[in-house]
Amino acid sequence: MLEIARRFRRDGLNPVEHVRHILKEAHDDKLNVFISIDDEGALASAEKAEQRIRNGDEGTLLGIPIAVKDNICTKGIRTTCASNILSNFVPPYDAHVVERLKQRGCVIIGKTNMDEFAMGSTTATSNIGPSRNPWNIDKTPGGSSGGSAAAVAAGLCAGALGSDTGGSIRQPASFCGVTGLKPTYGSVSRFGLVAFASSLDQIGPIARTAMDVAVLYDAIKGYDPKDSTSVNKDYKVTSLDELDLKGLKIGIPPMFFGEGLNHEVEKAVREGISIFKELGAEVVEVKLPHIKYGVAVYYIVATAEASSNLARYDGVRYGWREENSRDLVDMYASTRSRGFNDEVKRRIMLGTYALSAGYYDQYYEKASRVRTLIIEDFKEAFKACDIIAGPTTPTPPFGIYDMLDDPLSLYLLDIYTVPANLAGLPALSIPCGFTTSGLPIGMQLMAPAFGEDLLLGAGITFQAHTSFHEERP
Amino acid sequence: MDYDVVIGLEVHIQLLTDTKIFCGCLTKFGDAPNTNVCPVCLGMPGVLPVLNEKVVDFGIKLGLATNSTISERNIFARKNYFYPDLPKGYQITQYDYPLCKKGFLEIDVDGGSKRIGITRIHMEEDAGKLIHDEKEDYSYVDFNRSGVPLLEIVSEPDMSSTKEAVAYLKELRQIVMYLGICDGNMEQGSFRCDANISVKPKGSSTYGIRTELKNMNSFRNVQNALEYEISRHVELIEQGKQVEQETRLWDAGLGVTRTMRTKEESHDYRYFPEPDLIPLIVDSVWIERVKKTLPELPREKRHRFAKDYGIPMYDAEVLTQQRDVADYFEACLKFIDAPKDVSNWIMTEVLRVLKEESIDITKFNVTPEMLANMIALIKKGVISGKIAKGVFEEMHRTGKAAYIIVEEKGLLQITDEGVLREKAKAILDSHPKEVKSYKDGKVQLLGFFVGQLMKETRGKANPKLANKVIKGLLEE
């Protein structure tokens, strides 16, 4: 991304030509990455950007082609959440982050594929079918922001926005060999992000390098009065310089290297950690005694919130509606049973159950209490270390249809990513190696709330001394 | 057998904020359907609520006015259910942590007073409105009301008669109107009431099974519905049957309550904390700031009026019904120290004109000073009470001061005994028959002669003097 910005000014790369080229590639794409492509809008903003660049405007993001996950609202461009129920929905407003990117002169290429309503980790539940991993088209790019991560890896955009509720930025970033950041809860406005689980959702950037991610993060972060959960504080510009890692304490929770971790992944991540050591960091063991309940807590909280958040898709005001219904109840029932796929319905039912009279205390209430314990675990751990490192996912990318009939095993793969969402902490996934068959592996770094500087600094430093992020599919 | 009646009331009031509770749309009533709407109050994908703090101000006001404890930590909750007028599929309300708790109201009934406990007051959003057209096989939804702020006031089951229930409602309605937080309009639904009611044998310590009543949009409806329901419960009990726990609708046309939904059909609202809103902290500074804006409350004012101005309790009640009327009354007293006379004029003439012409007293042509000055003219004997009525109408019509009207129209009272005697003599002379009858003992004819004299003077004769003069002449 920074590279393209430089070429716009030094190498005579023309922003309009570049975007035209990207659009052509996007239309020829075999990876099923885009749900919508906005040729007209993209070319119009590229032309404006070209003008500004010619007038000497140094804005880094001017003319930079960006892809946006299809659960982030874009004014005048269909925003479907990969769902039949929103297949015709065109928002009359931009999400706050989209507004911010447009102000910076970004070119929005199109809307990327995802799991329906971001519920999944493969994009296989999308109503347009799964996206494919650019490193091996039989493998999943991960999800739910699989389209965004694959688009970045395949060079169909310079950077992308995803959303992360339980790992949906980090896991696909890891599977596609790119860098992805789940920011601190409250640092990026959720206004215009179609809600899945409001207390966990965060929008974040995906790009090739930590530096590019930092630039995009700077563009989208900050207080937004339209989101009551966005935090009003001083947001400094993230430094793009290398960090002096001498004395940096990296915490390793043994649980992150426990049962179920693929040995190739373990090897690559351990090697990644030793690179940090060589750069001067110290490694300490930290205990996170309650994160073993993370997945269980996550699937109660997330589904409970989702069951309520998705109630508005009832066919009354917008979106798809079953027209041949007998009465009101029938309209609700058939609109929702035909509008949503199985996974979304499964989660709505789970969440509805968890909130039901007589079960609330046992499930939602209890999960909320364990969530507090997990938050406390991290507070305690960060007394002993500056960042926590481990694998982003327990396995390398798997086959597109491998896990379709086994939702429970699929849920368990979220084990390393959900704690950051439950605790509202920032977490970064960076490429740290490849399997013998050439599939990317990612390492996750976590920091205390608003510790993005540290995370990105560590990522930038790591990438200054490694070349995993430079590999191309 | 004798029975105890147990009534608790839930009141929803629509707040008079300019904008809605979670977005910037206007709360105006009566605009074209779906004009005061935006993505937030339409529940579109990805939008988020932002709390209008004015709603909290209003809630604190009512909390203080009802002696409630204001909660420091407030959490909004989602109440989940499907209905086409509910755009998000849930209502944002408060559940475990309401804004106000443990308050009470004093009501005046049967010459005594009673304290009615208020369990809680919480903030929430209103839903839209369905519009059914009988000619069509579909319905319309108007979302103008969606997101209009409400306060729900839940009482303790402390009322033991319909009379007390109505007194509580009237008191509460008067308070919210005094506070300027609600217009109190029951017909248009800005002041709505549901009742929980049960009946038990007198003195029994266990409650009877309760029913919930809805759809009572006037005090009369509340009264009738509760009375109907009490006798329905009593009848069932006397027949040895069970009262079913259910929600019933009052049918004002037929004068009966009907089952709306049974206990089995009741919703599981799946309340949980609203994750889109952070906890609302109400600190003492906020409460103090609101406290400073509290007016004198109706009951306080009522008792003060009766005591300080020596007017009957009935007068005090009428005068304090509306805050502006009470203010008008007190403003008059700045110009004339005659509370009962002022009260009489306001209760009869002023309120009649205001009602007939539906004008607001704050926009009334006859200012307190003008009314006071007119009453002063009566008290000084410059005009009679009867003439004053005409003068009052004229003041209202033209905005002119009373003394100017009196002067222009020559309405000065005739208090010159000589003048009246001349005119009286002429009247007696022209009615010899009646004079004879009087002298023969038909003394009630006195009124006839006085009437003639008043007619002759076009009402300007001082009535006392007219009496005296006629009587004097007849008895000469």
Enumerate the residues of chain A whose CB falls inside 8 A of the CB of residue B84: 314, 316, 328
Gap from B88 CA to chain A (nearest CA, Å) = 4
pLDDT at A159 over 90: yes
Residue B415 has pLDDT above 80, yes or no: no
**Can you give the pTM of this predicted structure?**
0.90
Block residue for tokens 């409001």: A198
Choosing among B51, B270, B271, which should be mutated to test the A contact, i.e. which has the most A CBs within 10 A?
A: B270
Beta strands B73-74 and A427-434 are: unpaired
According to DSSP, the β-strands at A440-446 and A387-391 are antiparallel
> Is B249 part of the contact surface with chain A (CB cutoff 8 Å)?
no
The helix or strand, by DSSP H or E, that contains position B129, with its residue range, turns out to be strand B129-132
**Where exactly does CATH 1.10.10.410 map onto chain B?**
417-474
Among the partner residues A194, A332, A364, nearest to B45 by beta-carbon distance: A194
Task: Considering only residues B469 and B458, tell me which one the structure prediction assigns the higher pLDDT.
Answer: B469
Among all residues of A, which ones are annotated catalytic? Answer: 69, 144, 168
Which range, of A301-305, B146-150, B252-256, averages the lowest pLDDT? B252-256
The pLDDT, as a whole number, for residue A319 is: 94
For residues B125-141, average pLDDT: 89
Using N-to-C axis directions, what is the helix angle for B298-309 and B323-333, rounded to 10°? 30
> Residue B406: which pLDDT band, with cuts at 50, 70 and 90?
confident
Distance from CA of B58 to the nearest CA of A (A): 21
* Separation between Cα atoms, residue B288 and residue B309, nearest integer Å: 31
Q: Model confidence over B2-12: pLDDT tens digits?
A: 999 999 999 99
ipTM of the complex: 0.95
Closest CA to B337 of B366, B315, B303, B308: B308
Q: What pLDDT is stored for residue A371 in this prediction?
A: 97
C-beta atoms of B39 and A92 within 8 A: yes
Q: Does A139 touch chain B (CB under 8 A)?
A: no
Residue ranges of alpha helices (H) inside B200-248 are 219-238
Instruction: Look at residue B387 in the predicted model and tell me its pLDDT.
Output: 82
Give yes or no for residue B409 having a pLDDT over 80: no
Q: Is the CB of A302 inside 8 Å of chain B's CB atoms?
A: no
Residue in chain B nearest A193 by alpha carbon: B46
CA distance A103 to A98: 9
What's the mean per-residue pLDDT of chain B?
A: 92
Q: What is the pLDDT of residue B422?
A: 84
Asked: is B417-474 a CATH 1.10.10.410 domain? The reply is yes
DSSP bridge pairs for B272? B78
pLDDT confidence band for A330 (50 / 70 / 90): very high
* pLDDT at residue B475 is higher than 90: no
Within 255-294 of B, beta carbons closer than 8 Å to A belong to 268, 270-272, 275-278
Chain A: residue nearest B45 by CA? A194
Nearest chain A alpha carbon to B23: A226
In this predicted structure, the answer to whether residue A192 has a pLDDT above a threshold of 90 is yes
Residue A340 reports pLDDT greater than 80: yes
> pLDDT (tens digit, 9 = 90+) per residue, A59-117?
999 999 999 999 999 999 999 999 999 999 999 999 999 999 999 999 999 999 999 99
Q: What is the pLDDT of residue B262?
A: 86
pLDDT range class, residue A276, cuts 50, 70, 90:
very high
B336-375 tens-digit pLDDT:
999 999 999 999 999 999 999 888 898 998 999 999 999 9
Whether B457 shows a pLDDT value over 90: the answer reads no
Q: What was the pLDDT predicted at B402?
A: 86
Res B436 pLDDT > 90:
no
The reported pLDDT for the residue numbered A209 is 97
How many structural domains comprise chain A?
Answer: 1
pLDDT at B462: 81
CB contact under 8 A, A308 and B272: yes
User: Does residue A351 have a pLDDT over 90?
Assistant: yes
Q: Check whether A34 has a pLDDT greater than 80.
A: yes
Average the pLDDT over B73-86 and give the result: 96
- CB B80 to CB A308 under 8 A? yes
Asked if the C-beta of A353 comes within 8 angstroms of chain B's C-beta atoms, the answer is: no
Selected for mutation to probe chain A from B47, B74, B76 (highest A CB count within 10 Å) is B47
Gap from B87 CA to chain A (nearest CA, Å) = 6
Residue B326 identity (one-letter amino acid): A
Listed residue (A11, A307, A82) closest to B269, CA to CA: A307
Return left, alpha or beta for B256; rule: phi > 0 is left, psi -120 to 50 is alpha, else beta.
Answer: beta
Q: Per residue in A109-140, pLDDT tens?
A: 999 999 999 999 999 999 999 999 999 999 99
A227 contacts in B (CB within 8 Å)? 48, 50
B90 touches chain A (CB under 8 A): yes
CATH number of A217's domain: 3.90.1300.10
Full domain range(s) for residue A9: 1-473
Q: Is the pLDDT of residue B122 over 90?
A: yes
A473 and A134 Cβ atoms separated by less than 8 Å? yes
